[in-house]
Each structure stands twice: as C-alpha cells, then as structure tokens.
Structure 1
C-alpha cells in the first residue's frame, strides 16, 4: 500500500473535520496514467489513489488488479468471473451456483488417477441426467436416479476426492472458498507470498477445464444448502423483497440457489456450456493484494493465465422494469420475530442515484447521528431500525427495516420509517451533516484500504460492476459537491409511493418444500491415491518462509498517568487514527447489574446535553465511543482521529460524570430488553449455539440463565444504575492506546480522566461449574426443514503442551474442506451441507477443553448422519498422505502468520489468561515439525475416542427420528424459556 497517498487522504480528512460549514476545499485531482513495467507490460494507475493500484489488461483480456500491502507475507487472491445467476437459463436456475461448487472438483489431471476409465463413466452419468431431466414419470425418474447412483459409485473408483483442497491447503492457504451472486462468481484464497508460483500453476489448470465428477453427491449438498435458505426467515424476506422490486428482471425472478425442481433435475450439458461461454479470460479478473513485487508478479500471471484463450462473450439482454407507481405488498411467514422492510428501486452503479442515495442513507442512518438513529433508536420508539443501499449493474435499491416493540404493529414501524424519509425530504437535518457523513465514509475507507481482504473485495466489485477505478477514487469528492438543496430535491423526486413493503410475520410457511432422502450410496474417497498432477505439484519447491515471533514485552511499551494508572501502548505507524481502551478486569460475573447499567447509558443525556445532542457532538468530532461489559472484563473505548482525542475524551468524561437518569428512558429500555428476549428465543441459531450449548455445558446454573427477571428489571431504580456506572471509573483499571503521539494521549488522559485517589478492588466473581457430559440428548422442537446437532464432550483441563497436537488435529480431522469429517459426511455420503468437528481449547487456565462436533442435515437423513459422525468420533481414519498434507499446511500457516499492530496487545491479553507469558507459536511450530501420524492417533485416543457426549438437537419433531436420537442418550425435550431463564410472555397480535 502506498503510505504517502494514505497520508494525503488523512490530511484531507482532517481538513474536513476542522469545519462545520460547507467545505469549499477543492476536489483532489484524479488522473489516469498509462505506464509500462520492466516486462514491457502496460498498466494504468490513478493519481492520488490511496491503494496504489496497478491495473493490467493482458492481451487475452484478463484484468489483473495488483496492490501492495506488506503487513504480512501473504497475498489475498480473488479470481472473479462476470457470471452469476442472472445468466442462468430459465429452465436451469441455480446453474451458476452449481458450477461454482464443481470448479473445486478438478480437471482431467486433478482429482483422478485414471482419467480414461473415469471419463467413460462420467459420460454415462451425463447422458443419464439428460434422460432423468426429460422423464416425467416419477417412478421411472427414481429408476434413472438409482442408475446414476450406481454409475457414480463406479466412477468414484477412479477419482480422488478433494485434491484441489489438499493442494491449496498444502500451500498454507486460508479462506479457501467461493461465492455466487447475481452477476458474479468469485473464488477466494489467501496464500503465503512464497507460494504464488504453485498457486498460479494450480489455478491455471483448474480454470482451464471443467470436469463434473462426484456430481450427484455435490448436488445433494447443494440441496442441503437450499434447505438452509428455507430455514432462514431473513433470506425468505429478502427473496420476497426482490420479487416485488423486480417482477421481470432476474434479480427478482431467478434465485441464485435455484428452484427445487431445477435443483433435482440438472443438465450437465447446460453446466458445461455455461462454463465454456463465461469462464474465459476477457470475462474474468484476477485480484492480488499483498506482499509481492509488482513486475515479478504480473510476469508470472502473464506466463500462466495470459495463455488462456480469448473468446467473444455476450451477456444476455435482460428485461427492463416498469416504474413502480404505488406500494407493492409482500408477506413472509416463519417462526422468527416479526419485522418489516421498505425498499425503493433505484438505478444501478455508476449513476446519479448511487451518489445521492449513498449520501441520503448516511444522513438517515449512520449508526450514530442519523435521523433514524436519533429519532427512532435513540428514543426507543421501535425495537430496532436502520437502512442500507445496494447497487448492482442494472438496478439497485435502498432498503429500510425495523422491528416492533411489544404491542406495536408492523404498520406503525413502517410509518415511523417513512416519517424519517419525510424529514429528509423536508431538509430537517443539520447543515453540517453532509460534511460529517462524508468524513465518516472517508474514515471507513481508510480502515478498509488497510486490510488486504477488504481492499481486494473493493477491486472485485469494481470489475464486476464495470467501475473505472478513477471514479472510485474520486467518488467521495463527488459527494462533497452535492449541496443540501440538491439532496433534498433528489429525495422528493425519488422517495414516493414507489416502494415494496415486506412484512415478516410469525406463522407457518406453506411454501416449504420437503423431499425424500434419495438414498445415495457413499462414493469412494481413495485417500491413498494421487493424481500425477498432485505428485508433480508437491515436488515443486518454494523458498521456505520463516516464521516470525513476537516479543510481547518489548513490543508493548508502558508508561503511567499522574494518578499511577498503567498505560500500555503501541504506535500506529500507518495513519493518524487511534484506538484507546480503558480496561477493567471485572464484568457481569462480578456484578450483573453492570451490564444493565452500561446498556442504559446509551439512552442518557447529561445536565448540558440531551442524548441526541451528545450523539451529534461525537459525530461532529469523528469520534466513536463505546462502553461494553463481558463476563470477566469491561471496556470504555474511544477511537477516531488522533487530532480530536482530547475533545472526544473530554466529552466522554462529561457523559461519564454527569449522566442524568431518566425514568421514561429506563422504562423503554426494560421493555426493549424483554422484547429482545422474546425475539431471541425465536432464532434457531441462538437456541442451539447459546441456549442448548450453555445448558449442555453448565446445566441449570449457568451464566446464560443468571439474569434479572422481568419484574426485577421493572422495579429497579434507574438512579442506582447511573450511580453504579459513574462509580465504575473508581475501580482498578489499566489503559491500552494504539496510535501516534503517546505523550499527547497521556496529557489528555491526565486532564480529562479523573478517578478516585484510591481505586477500589473488584467484587468477587460468580463461579460457574462445568458439568460432566454424557448420556444426555437435549432437544428443542422447532419448525424447520433441516435438523441441526451439536455434540459436546468435556475433556481434560487446559494444558499448553497439547496446543500443537490439537491445532494439527483440527486441520487433519475436522476443520476445512479436505478434513476427514467433511470428506466422509459431505463428500462421500452427502449427508450434510455443513459438518465439522474440533478440539476446543479453553480460554482460561484451569477450565476444561471440549470436543465439539456439528451437523446440519435434512431431518430424514439424521439417523445416517449420526451413525457417520459417531463412527468418526470413535475411530479416526488414518491416512498418511492426508496427515502429511495437513501437517505441511499447519506449519505453513504458522510460518506466514504475523501478529501486528494492536493485535500484539490483544493476543498477549488472551495468552496471559491461559498462563502463557510469551509467543507460544515457536514451541508449537517445533512440536508439529516432529509429529507423526502415530502421535496424532495417540492424541485422538487419549482426548477424543470414547468421550461421553451431550447432544444438542433442534428440529421439527414431526420429521426427526426420535428413536435414532434415543440411541445417543436420554432425550429431554427442553422448554426454550427455561433454557434462557426467560419468563413466558403472552402472545400479542400485531
């Protein structure tokens, strides 16, 4: 990253913050320059670009985005294709997403050890799928599917599952994945810098040819993914909104996941044709952000991907939409809490709409001082509310959303949201807001561009949406040119009765599709086999990357305030942003009122400022503050521009010292908490991962259940809470500062952070006993298609000597696309979309470690899935080649890992809780180097095999095989209110 340009951005940002009137600062000049590198390859740069982008266009049309970031010896890689669900044939929806999955399956060189024999069967499978698709008789279709299953088993005799994942894993890659949306499919990896050559060689082969092997098992995994969308009320509401906004365009008419009919009747010919048409270099981009040499890197890219053959690409002409002239109403039903959204259709990227809506959205909701923030959330007129825009190639939309309080109707929430839009249309916002929100956007952009992954995302979007990079660089300057009068005029023209309102109501969803278990025969994984490609790939040598360890005690410097409070600090060498945390080593375990009081402070003003005025004052400064309480620690924090730290700290201290209790605000706050509890118990993820898991670990006496009752909340004195928080600053504390000019920060703290002469000791913390596990099945009945299960076994107390083995075990056995669990349950047996297991190290010295496993599967597959998972948890498959690959991957990840910036302090904090006083990775690295498969098996036998599990299950009781569950232990059907220790509330019709 070009630091000089980033500093220019900060200087510009500081200039904007220094004034409240409309800025007349001239826009930064943006000019595109064409240049040639040392290889003679042409690229373009943009002046005053804080990202230092070099944008190449190779002779075959491939776009290559290169940007340098030397924070760590890694490269964030994306390979993006302008090919998404918009271009699916109408009779084959979901095709682009299918294809995304299949690109991981290999080529005629990757994933096979006898291509000629395998190809015979793959051709048969393709023909059978075409027959299956054309056949209308249900029984004949089943016969054909059975034949597909039989031939697929024969084909698997010659395939090697997950070879791509093994190879990319052997590089030490992280974040290996892909995603498909309307207009793009994007493939992701983050690789160590020294592995670029091997990665390019692998990806060049992968994108050169498509082979649809192991198709029917992956197809079933995709259907499990479809089931997950059916179980997501949020996703269903999103689809309904799109259908209303786009009654003709594929944005609303072709779901990326596809329809169940198309998912069960695919055409392999269609998929191959799609790949051949769109996966060509002039329709693709490579994005690389990281630690590399520009000239060397582009030469390597050109020598591989530059040889791909260019083809003419034409995307289909998509339907145009008619103007919406009156509100369109959509309804969605499901078990989660009710909500409402209002969405206005706009033009897409690179349009006037994008600029004006971006600005309007921040005026309305910026998380701090927007109209919705202050008038609805701050005043607690709704349970929650917000807005967000999205811009695509053809169209975009601006969405507003909210949840009701108890007794409040969805229409009341809708009308409150519309009222805020009316305030925008009338210009009822402060004149300084436009400058302030542009500054807020610039700060966010600064932070985004520091992060290689987030910057790479920005480049991908620029490619997919045909955005010129110079337009991205000057976008915020363009916003500065918009006057308040122009924004108001746009709002009056744009926001009318031309919206789609989507009501998410509680109730049964009659559109749910449930299908029978197809009865797939497990395919062969052939872990002991290898293709010639992977043998040659593994023989390629890369210059080893040496790990670097942190000396925490020298990296974290210390000073003290005049009152003796210790300040730890690390200098921010990149920009003028700071982050300051006042740390209290006490939390809700010490006093459970503390969390309640901290939350209440959000809604209070002082003797000088109303709550809304306080929010505005902080926003003017470009300073964000927060107060948070966890179980064991609490934090009071400030972050933003170093320049404004003194003013921000003064304002924070004023709030801390002078907060005034307000009974009405407290009553609304309590009502919000009670409604939040009712909403929380409708979320299956919260029920499983919070309620059931906590009960499985602690039983009745858990931190989760140790809450105030509704009546206790209602009867509490708000003054008592305010006094508690005010007195909070007089307890033992320490400070961490990340930023420049520590002396100025200390001076400001000495002036504004006044505490008692003698600080108080912490109250004794509540202790929660971890129970022994085994023989219990805790079940919650929930209206859903899938059933989700967590397995939990209490292990031995934390021992730092096990960290190396557990890290390697997790890579080999249960985490990642090439792990044993994923291969067996998804790849071979197609029993789940998501399945994993890991050895969970404790976060506190003295606490127990746990063995954890998860599966989400179609309910009628659960007995098979349970059998598969429990088989693995009691008998770890031993695959020497896979072990060596996992070992190599783990070592390379450690070698490329860098702990930098403020993470140095927070990592040290985490390690000290475990009783570790130095960088533990050095010992881990050396231990893993020496480990053998026999060592890992010994770890498994001692820590995983034969463990006694508590099993937590959520699913529809009508579909779940309770008899199969009973084999795991005594089934206890749990009441959700009891899990969370909530009080039952009367249902109020809305």
Structure 2
C-alpha cells in the first residue's frame, strides 16, 4: 500500500520546483518534436525537468528525463490497474497479481516449462474446485491436494530468478505497490545496466505465470495480518468507507477481504492481467543518467513490440453529496486519535487547486492556522491535515491526537474551530504567496532526488494529467485571491464530513487465520533457467567507482572569533543549510534535549512564539535546535538571499528567549502524554524498548530519564539559561550553499562569541551487556507475533565492513537473500524476515548479529526453528553468492557521495575512527572474496552465537514452549521497559 502522505508531499514538492524556475508571466505549453530516429515526443515550455514524453505506436507512454548527478536511473513501470477494478467476488486480486509478476514467465524461473505447465494447469483447476466447494472437509482435502501438486510443480521451478537477475545488476529499491488506480513496479539501477534491465522487464511483462502460488498467498495473508495490527490503517479504511459508500475507494480494500483471499481464482487473475497489462494502459518512466535517443530506441525495440488491445475501464459508481456528518469508530490497542475528512473532486478539478491551497493555509509545519493555534500553543498533543486526489474523487483529512485528559470530541471541536477561521478569513493576506513559495522551496529540494521526479511522472500518467498543467499548477494557485479561497471554504467545509474516532479497546472485527500447514516447496538454488544463463553472459560496459578525498572536498575557513567553518558548495540551486554543531548532547547533560525542545514554544521581548514562526516563514527560512545523545545542532536552512535576516532572527531568539511557565507546564504534559502514547505502539515496544533492554538491560539511556515529578520541579528559567549558555561551549559550523564568504560574514555579524569557549561536560557511558539465554517478552493485543534475535559481537573493526556488507546482501537482506527465500518463499512462514551483521556506528562499540521475523502466532514455532537453523547453518549457493557479489560491487561503483552528504558521511566515518573513503578498501576486498571467505566470516561471527530474543505478541495466543527452547522467559511490562514510574501513573 502506498504511503499516501509521502506521495502527496513528493508530488507537491515536485510541482513547486516546476514553478520555481518558471517565468511566472508565461504559461507553459506543450510542444511536439521528432528526434533523429523518427520517434515523436512532447516537451513543455518552461519545464526545468526536461521531460520528453513519448507515445509509441502501441500506445505505451515513455517518460524520460536526464540527470547526470550519479550514474543511476530511477525506473518505474506503471499500470493503470488497481483495486478499483478488482471483480467484486475477487477483491485483493490486483495486489496479489503484483506479487505474482515477480515469479517469472515461461522463460524466467523454470527449468522445464512444458513439464511445469502441466502441474500449474492442474493447480489452477484445483483452485476453481476449491473456490466452488462449500463443504469444509472437502475444501480442506482440495487444499491438501493443491499443496501436494505445488510441491511437485516446484521441482521444475527456480525461485526468485527475477530478483537474482535484478540484484546482479546492482539495483536498489526493488519493489512494487498497488493502490486504487495503479500498480507500479520500481527499481533504481546503475546506468550502465539499462540494456539488461530493459530486456528482463520486457520479458517479465510479456507473460504471466502463476507459479509458487499458494506459498505467496500465505505471504499476502501475513500482510493482511499486519494490516489488522495497524490501527492507523483501520482508521483510514473506516474513513474511506464513510466518504465513499458506493465507490470502490471505500468499498474494496486493496489487500482484499479474508474470504476472497482464502478462495482465489487463477482464471480471474489471468483475465485481469490480459485485460489491463497492455501497452496502451502502461508507462515506462526513466529518470537519471541516460541518453534520450538511444534509450527510446531500446524501449521501442522491446516494450514497443507488445500488442495494443482495445481497453475500457469500468464506469464506477457516483456518490451522492454528504449532507450531514457521518460518524464512525474503530478500536485497537494504540493511543486515541480522530480524523475529520471532506470529500472533494479529483485530479484536474478546481477542487484540487483550492483544497491544496487551503491545506497549506491550515497546516504547513510552520505558520499555518493549525500549526500556530493548536500545535504551537500546545492545545492538543498534535494535529495536522493533508489532501489526497484520485481520478474520480479526492478528500481533505484533518487529524488530531488528544492531550492528557482531553477527549476526542474536544480535539474535534478545536479542529473544526480552525476550519471556521479559514472560512472567516482569519489569516494574513501574505500567506497565499508565502505558502506557494514554501511549496516551491520544498520542491527545489525534492527535485534533486530522481526518485521524487520519477514519482511525479508516474502519478501524472496514472491520473491522466497533462504535463503542462503540472508545470502551471503553482502559478494557478498564485492567482487565487484570499476572497476566492474564503468563498470556496464556506461552500466546501460544511457539515458534510466523515469523523472517525480511533478509540482504545478490543477490535471485535479481527479475522483469525488458520495455519494451513504448507509443505515447503523446493527452491532449486543450484538450478537455472536457460534465460538467466543467457542473461548472465551478457556483458555491460563496466562502471568505475568514484571515491571522495574528504580532506579536499570539505573546505575550511574560520570566523573572526576563531570558529571553524567546514563547507561544501551548493552547485545546484540557491538554497543553503547552516549547522552550528556542539559535540555534546544528553549524555553530557540530561537537561540539554529538554531545553532544546522547550525553545520551540518560547518568544522574546520583541516577538511572541507565534510571531517568530511567522517571521521565519515570511523569509522562507526554517530553524531548529536539536539535541541527540552526543551532538547538539542549531540549524538554519532555506533561501540563501535571506540567510543573513534568518540568522539575525535566530540569534535574537537564542539571546533573548523568555521563559514561559505556562508553556513549560504544557510542555511537560506533552512529554507525559507522549510517553503514554508511545507505550501503545508495538513498533516502539519492540524496536525501541525491548531492543534497548536486550542490549543494555536496565542501564540504558532509554531508561535513564527524568520522571514527570522531576520535570515539574525544574524551573523553566534554568532551561532557558542552558540554551543561552550553549554559545559558551566549543563549537563548529558546517555550511552547504553558495557564497561562503557571505555566510561567514553573517556569522561574524550575528553569531557573537565572547571569551574562551568551555570544554564539554564528561559524557555518561552506558555499558552493553552480554547476550544469550534470555527471552524478553511483552504482551500486546495483536494478530501477528514479532521477534528480534540479538547477539553481541566483537567491537567495531573497519576490516569487517567488506565481508559484512557482502554477507548481508547474500544472506539476510533483499528479495533474493537466503533468509527471505527460506522463510517466506519456501516455507511461507512470514511476510517479512531478515537478518544482518550490524556494524557499530562508533569506534569501541560492539557489532551485533540481528534477525527478525513477524508471523502468525500459530506459525511461531516453525518460524523460530527455521530462523535458528539458518543462523547456524548458512546454505552455500555458488551462483547466488556470485550474484550477490556482483550486486554489491555494482552498488559501490554506482554510488556517488555528493553535496552536503560529503560532510555528513565523513562525520559518521570519523566517529568510527576512519579518516578516508573506506569504500575503496571494501571494493577491493569484496572483488577477491570467495564463497569460502564468506563461510569463514559466517562461522566466526554468526554461527553459534548466543541470542537475546525480544518478542512482542498476544500472550493468550503464544506458544510458550517454542520460546522456552531459546532461553529463560522474562515478561516485561511496558513501564519497566521504558522506566516510566511517573507519579501521575502511580496515582491512576
């Protein structure tokens, strides 16, 4: 499932960049061209992305854009086919098909297609019988027969051949997603591997073969279970049901229903593929280091041969207007929250423009109505809003979480109150221009990422958007007057919303899924199809790695008062990023992070806290003060032309912040409620609470906290003094931008330092405990059980980086890794499973062997046994090792460390005691490694390790015996994990 908010912001961020470089007085227009080879394409005037949009004779759309920052190409293959078009009796079909497209074709993934096909046809027939059968006993017997025939069929299949080929190219981000109107397949590849990528993708989309079907179906069930454990998804689904009582947006979940997943039809899946996976319903998107003319020829010579078919998408139901609030409730173990959503028109409507603008006036993270009136004043725990626009409709959703003692209805009233302010025009006239400029600013940053640009292209394709409309979008927003927006708000935001209450409590709609008892299928690692054998013989032009000489790439200068300024020039645009760095953090002073967070809510003798946010927003400047365990940053970024004014304003706040006892009281309440909310999040319990307990026991920085009564006893004046006193400590500056002389001049003028700078307080150390023989368990109301295995290794050694990187690629991470194949592909024991040798981020700290599996409670024993067997017996597959080795080398060769990353990468290296580009030594070491070398690394560093095992799951469903085999079980309450002994909690 797509991350909707991320996609929305990436799309908006991109649109803003378009207008940032566009002449505001000139409308962008589409122009037609013909290249030297006779291929027709379109461009858009004033389009800084340089898009060439081709339409091949078979209807395939090809989006090409060139960017040579790194020798990589972001690829997307987009299909206008999603869950909206699932047959009503086969919901979840589009998503399940997405999974199956990774399984190969009649050429990929088979050693004998004719023999395999006989079994696959039989499996298809059995599934049709299974679907029609109503008798439970006969249905189970048919499934057992499917399992038996599937095992026979696996004798002729080779699992993960597609993944092996793509991995061998050095690809990253290999994945896909399905949503309402789309299925999108993604890879980021080294530019020199474009030929091989095109060949394998053209083959992949030429035919559908439903091999290894029932094992993958179990993986989808595990994904279904993860969704049942996600209260946010449940609230979202309930919201959609209210907004769309007739349309598939609200009536057909992308994951499908449990009943439909249990009774699939392979015939329906094949029919769906044949109907929608046709060139006139698809797009190929390539953004990166490419040549236009040669690239389009390659695409035309492969994908251009696909046969065009007549296609019409179904006409979907229309919705009647919502005339009164619709109320829905969902329950689950996580903290309470509320959403209010208004249905809008879809993409390419006037609603899209008006709601986009209204959304930014309401919440832009800085100076919106919700930002200033609710979050800044700490009237709620947190609140925000975001729009989503789809082909038929869209929606504008507002979300809020209550403070301690606050009801959801009180949060609802506050959110509706801010909407009323929008309707009443209670916002400054300058805000419209400011939010448009803010979008431009964020998109300028996003455009530097080829993935964001490619995402904007495929979204335009899915939503039938003309690219010139995208280029013109922000100019259109700028033309909207305040009165027009107010008039729209009064028409749009009425009692026509869906309010969804996410309450704490038992979810009585949970679907329990039985363990079908799948027989593990054969992976046939030692076998290969003729296709992959020929594929591996194809040679690509070698790509040479490029290394960074950090000592010359990072230049230095000093301010008048002797502060060292490290800098890297921004050669791309006029944005800057300035960080004043203190090499001390909460380990040096526990109150430092508290003080840094408190500054967010303070004003000065000249400005209130809200006025300060507005002043920064007017300048297009953002600031932050952030304290980690060993570093504190005072940061400033935005438009270079306003650097001096921004730094002057930041220094004014730094020097003149005024303590506000009322704001501090609310701040402590916010911390308290944040702790309560964090206790309800299973991810926080496992990856934060249990993991820290597994590493440090009771003496961890996670548990070494100030209790609420201690926080209440602090005088807020002391915290302001801590912030102001930071200036008196040793410090350094990193600047990324143009005109470093002007930046230093601004520091000389505004960042005043007097006298000798102080040394840092001694940092507290937290000792890592030995691992082994312990099972730490926390009870949580959930469907799955999730567990982490953790073994302490030797202290960090730079010479381990090469072998551990190759080991992780081969063994534990990625779709073609040993762990993924064994746990998910062969045995269907989990949706997600991985293992890694994790190198410490600091010299002297220990490395760790880690493994994760999330599975149904009734598969736990099998999953534990399978994972422990792998962690002690690494399968040796020569071909897979060679592919992993090639992949690792190609990833290093294609990696470019540029821009501000040069400085931040060097910072992390120095922390490990490395003062050069370690990748060169890694590359040369990996180049000469053999499977025997990797086995030696495994035997020394992984095999036989003694693990602490961290488990979060539902106690009543837990198989205790399976855990007792791993060590002594200690059940830990959440408060014990996080050391929450606040008096408020004791009183209650």
Report what 2:384 is aligned to.
Answer: 386
Gaps of 5+ in 2: 1-12
Query: What secondary structure, in the 3-state scheme, does the structure 2 residue paired with 1:568 have?
Result: strand
* CA–CA distance in structure 2, aligned partners of residues 970 and 226 of structure 1: 32
Q: Is the 8 A contact 2:19 2:475 kept in 1?
A: no
Q: 1:782 aligns with which of 777, 780, 784?
A: 780
CA offsets per residue over residues 825-864 of structure 1, 9 Å max, x none? 0000000000000000000001110000000000000000
Query: What secondary structure, in the 3-state scheme, does the structure 2 residue paired with 1:34 have?
Result: strand
* CA–CA distance in structure 2, aligned partners of residues 39 and 568 of structure 1: 49
* CA–CA distance in structure 1, aligned partners of residues 986 and 62 of structure 2: 56
Q: 1:224 aligns with which of 210, 222, 225?
A: 222
Alignment of 1:9-48 (within 5 A): 27-48=25-46
Q: Is the 8 A contact 1:808 1:928 kept in 2?
A: yes
* CA–CA distance in structure 1, aligned partners of residues 615 and 838 of structure 2: 44
* Structure 1 residue 444: Cα displacement: 1.3
* Structure 1 residue 686: Cα displacement: 0.1
* Structure 1 residue 139: Cα displacement: 1.0
Q: Is the 8 A contact 2:17 2:447 kept in 1?
A: no
CA offsets per residue over residues 55-85 of structure 1, 9 Å max, x none? 0000100000001111100000000000000
* Structure 1 residue 983: Cα displacement: 2.4
Report what 2:659 is aligned to.
Answer: 661
Report what 1:527 is aligned to.
Answer: 525
* CA–CA distance in structure 2, aligned partners of residues 988 and 130 of structure 1: 59
* CA–CA distance in structure 2, aligned partners of residues 706 and 404 of structure 1: 26
Report the more deviating stretch, 256-265 or 977-986: 977-986
Residue 141 in 1 paired to residue 119 in 2? no
Q: 2:953 aligns with which of 940, 952, 955?
A: 955
* CA–CA distance in structure 2, aligned partners of residues 975 and 7 of structure 1: 45
Alignment of 1:336-375 (within 5 A): 336-375=334-373
* Structure 1 residue 26: Cα displacement: 5.0
Q: Is the 8 A contact 1:86 1:183 kept in 2?
A: yes
Residue 591 in 1 paired to residue 550 in 2? no
Alignment of 1:244-259 (within 5 A): 244-259=242-257
Query: What secondary structure, in the 3-state scheme, does the structure 2 residue paired with 1:856 have?
Result: strand
Query: What secondary structure, in the 3-state scheme, does the structure 2 residue paired with 1:691 have?
Result: helix
Report what 1:113 is aligned to.
Answer: 111
Report what 1:747 is aligned to.
Answer: 745
Report what 2:769 is aligned to.
Answer: 771
Name the CA shift for 1:758/1:405 in 2 (closer, same or farther; >3 Å). same
Report what 2:962 is aligned to.
Answer: 964
Q: CA RMSD in A?
A: 1.5
Query: What secondary structure, in the 3-state scheme, does the structure 1 residue paired with 2:601 have?
Result: coil
Across the two proteins, how many residue pairs are aligned to each other?
976
Gaps of 5+ in 1: 1-5, 16-24
* CA–CA distance in structure 1, aligned partners of residues 14 and 493 of structure 2: 38
Q: Is the 8 A contact 1:977 1:984 kept in 2?
A: no
Q: 1:463 aligns with which of 441, 450, 461?
A: 461
CA offsets per residue over residues 198-257 of structure 1, 9 Å max, x none? 000000000000000000000000000000000000000000000000000000000000
Residue 438 in 1 paired to residue 467 in 2? no
Q: Is the 8 A contact 1:28 1:477 kept in 2?
A: no
Report what 2:97 is aligned to.
Answer: 99
Name the CA shift for 1:985/1:69 in 2 (closer, same or farther; >3 Å). farther
* Structure 1 residue 447: Cα displacement: 1.5
* CA–CA distance in structure 1, aligned partners of residues 886 and 361 of structure 2: 51
Report what 1:405 is aligned to.
Answer: 403
Query: What secondary structure, in the 3-state scheme, does the structure 2 residue paired with 1:92 have?
Result: coil
* CA–CA distance in structure 1, aligned partners of residues 209 and 531 of structure 2: 15
* CA–CA distance in structure 1, aligned partners of residues 308 and 380 of structure 2: 55
* CA–CA distance in structure 1, aligned partners of residues 759 and 21 of structure 2: 41
Residue 272 in 1 paired to residue 270 in 2? yes
* Structure 1 residue 27: Cα displacement: 3.1
Query: What secondary structure, in the 3-state scheme, does the structure 2 residue paired with 1:882 have?
Result: helix
Query: What secondary structure, in the 3-state scheme, does the structure 1 residue paired with 2:568 have?
Result: strand
Report what 1:552 is aligned to.
Answer: 550
* Structure 1 residue 8: Cα displacement: 14
* Structure 1 residue 989: Cα displacement: 15
* Structure 1 residue 450: Cα displacement: 1.6
Q: 2:836 aligns with which of 820, 831, 838?
A: 838
Report what 2:564 is aligned to.
Answer: 566
Q: 2:496 aligns with which of 490, 495, 498?
A: 498
CA offsets per residue over residues 163-193 of structure 1, 9 Å max, x none? 0000000000000000000000000000000
Report what 1:541 is aligned to.
Answer: 539
- Runs (4+) of structure 1 moved beyond 2 Å? 6-15, 25-29, 983-990
* Structure 1 residue 988: Cα displacement: 13
TM-score scaled by length of structure 1: 0.98
Name the CA shift for 1:985/1:346 in 2 (closer, same or farther; >3 Å). farther
Query: What secondary structure, in the 3-state scheme, does the structure 2 residue paired with 1:793 have?
Result: strand
* CA–CA distance in structure 2, aligned partners of residues 272 and 989 of structure 1: 61
Q: Is the 8 A contact 1:107 1:206 kept in 2?
A: yes
Q: 2:240 aligns with which of 228, 239, 242?
A: 242
Report what 1:879 is aligned to.
Answer: 877
* CA–CA distance in structure 2, aligned partners of residues 27 and 983 of structure 1: 62
* CA–CA distance in structure 2, aligned partners of residues 491 and 826 of structure 1: 50
* CA–CA distance in structure 2, aligned partners of residues 237 and 432 of structure 1: 35
Q: 2:76 aligns with which of 78, 89, 97?
A: 78
CA offsets per residue over residues 551-582 of structure 1, 9 Å max, x none? 10111000000000000001100100001111
Report what 1:628 is aligned to.
Answer: 626
Alignment of 1:77-226 (within 5 A): 77-226=75-224
* Structure 1 residue 38: Cα displacement: 1.6
Report what 2:796 is aligned to.
Answer: 798
Report what 1:978 is aligned to.
Answer: 976
Q: Is the 8 A contact 1:28 1:474 kept in 2?
A: no
* Structure 1 residue 448: Cα displacement: 1.8
* CA–CA distance in structure 1, aligned partners of residues 983 and 210 of structure 2: 53
Q: Is the 8 A contact 2:16 2:442 kept in 1?
A: no
Report what 2:61 is aligned to.
Answer: 63
Q: Is the 8 A contact 2:778 2:951 kept in 1?
A: yes
* Structure 1 residue 982: Cα displacement: 0.9
TM-score scaled by length of structure 2: 0.98
* CA–CA distance in structure 2, aligned partners of residues 957 and 475 of structure 1: 53
Name the CA shift for 1:113/1:220 in 2 (closer, same or farther; >3 Å). same
Query: What secondary structure, in the 3-state scheme, does the structure 2 residue paired with 1:800 have?
Result: coil
Report what 1:18 is aligned to.
Answer: none
* CA–CA distance in structure 2, aligned partners of residues 8 and 236 of structure 1: 31
* CA–CA distance in structure 2, aligned partners of residues 675 and 773 of structure 1: 33
Query: What secondary structure, in the 3-state scheme, does the structure 2 residue paired with 1:608 have?
Result: coil
Query: What secondary structure, in the 3-state scheme, does the structure 2 residue paired with 1:91 have?
Result: coil
Q: 2:813 aligns with which of 809, 812, 815?
A: 815
Residue 850 in 1 paired to residue 861 in 2? no
CA offsets per residue over residues 352-388 of structure 1, 9 Å max, x none? 0000000000000000000000000000000000000
Q: Is the 8 A contact 1:354 1:391 kept in 2?
A: yes
* Structure 1 residue 431: Cα displacement: 0.6
Q: Is the 8 A contact 1:427 1:484 kept in 2?
A: yes
Report what 1:21 is aligned to.
Answer: none
* CA–CA distance in structure 2, aligned partners of residues 659 and 986 of structure 1: 30
Q: Is the 8 A contact 1:407 1:988 kept in 2?
A: no
* Structure 1 residue 28: Cα displacement: 3.0
Alignment of 1:420-435 (within 5 A): 420-435=418-433
Report what 1:613 is aligned to.
Answer: 611
CA offsets per residue over residues 654-694 of structure 1, 9 Å max, x none? 00000000000000000000000000000000000000000
Q: 1:281 aligns with which of 274, 279, 286?
A: 279
* CA–CA distance in structure 2, aligned partners of residues 374 and 743 of structure 1: 35
* CA–CA distance in structure 1, aligned partners of residues 331 and 263 of structure 2: 28
Query: What secondary structure, in the 3-state scheme, does the structure 2 residue paired with 1:729 have?
Result: helix
* CA–CA distance in structure 2, aligned partners of residues 204 and 750 of structure 1: 59
Alignment of 1:308-323 (within 5 A): 308-323=306-321
* CA–CA distance in structure 2, aligned partners of residues 468 and 988 of structure 1: 60
Q: Is the 8 A contact 1:9 1:50 kept in 2?
A: no
